[in-house]
Structure 1
Amino acid sequence: MRFHRPAAPAERATVSVVIPCYRYGNYLPTAVASVLEQEDVDVDVLVIDDASDDDSAQVARNLADQDARVRVVVHTANAGHIATYNEGLNQVKGDYVVLLSADDALVPGSLARAVALMQRHPRVGLVYGHCAYFTDEPPRADRAARSWTTWPGRQWLTWMCSRSTNPVYTPGVVMRRTAWDDVGRYDARVPHAGDMLLWYQTAARWDVGRVNNEAQALYRVHGTNMHLTQYAGMLRDMQEQRALLGILFEETPPAHLPPARVRESALRSIVRRANRLAIAGSRDPSGDGSAEAFRRFSAETTAFLGGQGVSPVLVAWDAWLESRWGGLPRRASRHLWWRLWRRYGV
């Protein structure tokens, strides 16, 4: 990992932004405007409405009528988000590509900051930054970058796999066009962890960079995405994280991958998380059965490790952290992780 002093783009580049939309027409003008207002880069926008049954398609057409840089594709039948992502990213021709959900937004200057990093570091294929949450009006964010961070791809991949984490939010990502062409697609086998697999696959072939500032993008929190905090969503995400490790390590040429023990470390990390969620679920007064589901998942994942799961010491430590007595250190450790993630992206 290396830190660098930020700089301006060396030359003007074109960034293509794909905005998939399904029933998000009310949010779409904010997303599109946040792209068209970007400075020091040329932008083009492709909005793909996936057969929304509201006025989203007409909203998109109105935006295209107002600015020639906006193009619209409207599906006559719903194709699903993975197929829509791949369709859009394979159509655009910019030097760099971005996938931006219709309910999210970019921070002013974010594209130029990411492009500048990749122009000065030709081996970097993916740049990300912090995503700030918002609900109604997009907040103002400090546009200045404190620093850039770059990692050799395999080093970044090893760190992420060893903890089986995804510190990268899609709105904050800019990919080099050639890196997208190299990796090629979102994988429909992991529809809820396709972004995480894409970052891992990219890091197996390219270096990774990060713009360290207050925010590069804005992630909107609203009623239809709050499921990410529910137990069912957590279990589904861990199931797909386990599946993506299989895809990554079994289908990527070994020369691009970290040692096999990293996969084992990732699986143990998933087991520990499932064990802790089982304890938390057992305290949930709703009695939704989540604790037992997490226990079964933990046992299944341990079987992938030949029965050599988490050490008894770590099991006891995790159990204590999730107990009433471990409340303070649990909150402190989570806050520390959050601070590090927000500042450095790892």
Structure 2
Amino acid sequence: MTVKTAPRLMRGRPRISVVIPCYNYGHFLPECVRTVLDQPGVEMDVLIVDDASPDGSAEVARELAAADPRVKLLAHEKNSGHIATYNDGLAAVDGDYVVLLSADDVVVPGALAQSAALMESNPGVGMVYGFAPTFVDVPREPRTRVHSWTVWEGPEWLEQVCRRGGNPLATPEVMLRTSLMRELVGYEPELPHSADFLLWLRAASRAQVGRVNGVDLAFYRVHGGNMHTSQFSGVLTDLTERWKAFEWFFAHDGDAVDTPRLRASAARAVAREALIAVRQSYELGEPAADAAELVALAEKIDPDCRGGRLWTVCQNYLRRGARVPVRLTATVDKAIFHARWRRWRRTGVLGAVRSL
């Protein structure tokens, strides 16, 4: 059962550990660390994990650590990759709650106390999140007044996520109970693209999930160096890796959930998203280069999609092999996208992928 309540004041000052993985983001570190150390109402400690950055990031981190005893540095002698960097940092901290924050992102003032207050008032909650707007150079003025708290039972949150097929969290706005993180043993190295999504699924299979509504908890920086726009670009890759996360979850944590039903729900949603991407690309006059692969992925994930109206439309476009005029459905899809985005910001879960 989903419960929405008014926020409550926090008693005491829990300690929050913030792990900041860094690779060639030394020029962002001072701002990122400042937004963490300036958090009111909680005790803070910061661990910067530098993955052998050649840009001098470790030296920047040493200066920050020398200036404030709450900041420490773990410097890799050789580059180990982002998953190992995350896990090394998470294994080394021991606060009541833990946050993984990329060196190029920032935290909103008061956000960590807001998330911790929900945790403190709800001992069964293992993961809390909120909203993390994107920014390029300077974040906009954040929303800071909490409207309410939402608490889902883990299976209910999982059902909604599977039915929608997408990842409703960014990462900088997520706080985990450290005891739960210890149980999960960090990020899965086999899934470098979707390890964060898998972690959220696994957390929900073991604990309640909470959300702080109405505020911005962090800002996610968008630039050419973001991992999701460089190393892992493209709809085909995103959907493939997202499905791998679902499959890993059902294979390893399936005993905690209704696996056949949730797997079927997630399969329908991810396959449908692949087909919609193909149809949209043709109707916008820019056929996706990997359109055939996207259709094949949809068929592999959800064989029942074959013969459906959306599958048939995509097959016709593939056979025709030519661009088509922009149609009404493209306009409708754009409206649906914005409606879903607004719902996501308000409720914390993605609206179902759908179209005319």
TM-score when scaled to structure 1?
A: 0.92
Give the counterpart of 2:328 among 320, 325, 330: 325
Deviation at 1:237, TM superposition (A): 1.6
In structure 1, distance between residues paired with 2:56 and 2:156? 46
Q: 1:57 to 1:285 in 2, by over 3 A?
A: farther
In structure 1, distance between residues paired with 2:306 and 2:291? 18
Q: Is structure 2 residue 21 aligned with structure 1 residue 20? A: yes
- 1:300 is matched with which residue? 300
- 2:51 is matched with which residue? 50
**Conserved? CA contact 2:16–2:96, under 8 Å:** yes
- Paired residues, what number? 340
- Aligned CA RMSD, in angstroms, stands at 2.3
Q: Is structure 2 residue 293 aligned with structure 1 residue 290? A: no
In structure 1, distance between residues paired with 2:137 and 2:112? 23
* AA of the residue aligned to 1:117: L
In structure 1, distance between residues paired with 2:177 and 2:192? 23
Q: Aligned runs of 1:95-244 on 2, under 5 Å?
A: 95-225=96-226, 228=229, 232-244=233-245
Superposed CA offset, 1:62-83 (max 9, x none):
1111111000011111000001
**Conserved? CA contact 2:51–2:76, under 8 Å:** yes
* AA of the residue aligned to 1:221: V
In structure 1, distance between residues paired with 2:120 and 2:333? 41
**Conserved? CA contact 2:305–2:311, under 8 Å:** no
Deviation at 1:2, TM superposition (A): 1.4
Superposed CA offset, 1:182-217 (max 9, x none):
212201111111111000000001000000123101
Deviation at 1:241, TM superposition (A): 1.4
* AA of the residue aligned to 1:333: I
In structure 1, distance between residues paired with 2:26 and 2:132? 22
List structure 1 segments (4+ residues) > 6 angstroms apart after TM superposition: 284-288, 316-320
* AA of the residue aligned to 2:136: T
* AA of the residue aligned to 2:308: P
Q: Is structure 2 residue 256 aligned with structure 1 residue 260? A: no
Deviation at 1:288, TM superposition (A): 6.5
In structure 2, distance between residues paired with 1:182 and 1:226? 27
In structure 2, distance between residues paired with 1:12 and 1:344? 28
* AA of the residue aligned to 2:270: I
Q: Which runs of 5+ in 1 are unaligned?
A: none
In structure 1, distance between residues paired with 2:100 and 2:232? 27
Partner SS, residue 172 of structure 1: coil
- 1:30 is matched with which residue? 31
In structure 2, distance between residues paired with 1:264 and 1:253? 13
Q: Which runs of 5+ in 2 are unaligned?
A: 318-324, 350-356
Deviation at 1:298, TM superposition (A): 2.0
Partner SS, residue 73 of structure 1: strand
In structure 2, distance between residues paired with 1:230 and 1:63? 29
Q: 1:309 to 1:285 in 2, by over 3 A?
A: closer
Q: Is structure 2 residue 349 aligned with structure 1 residue 338? A: no
**Conserved? CA contact 2:22–2:48, under 8 Å:** yes
Deviation at 1:5, TM superposition (A): 0.5
Aligned-pair identity (%): 41
Partner SS, residue 305 of structure 2: coil
Deviation at 1:314, TM superposition (A): 5.3
Partner SS, residue 133 of structure 2: strand
**Conserved? CA contact 2:48–2:74, under 8 Å:** yes
Deviation at 1:253, TM superposition (A): 5.0
Partner SS, residue 31 of structure 2: helix
In structure 2, distance between residues paired with 1:217 and 1:275? 33
* AA of the residue aligned to 2:275: N
Give the counterpart of 1:312 among 305, 308, 312: 308
Deviation at 1:139, TM superposition (A): 2.6
In structure 2, distance between residues paired with 1:121 and 1:314? 43
TM-score when scaled to structure 2?
A: 0.89
Q: Aligned runs of 1:243-282 on 2, under 5 Å?
A: 243-254=244-255, 256-282=256-282
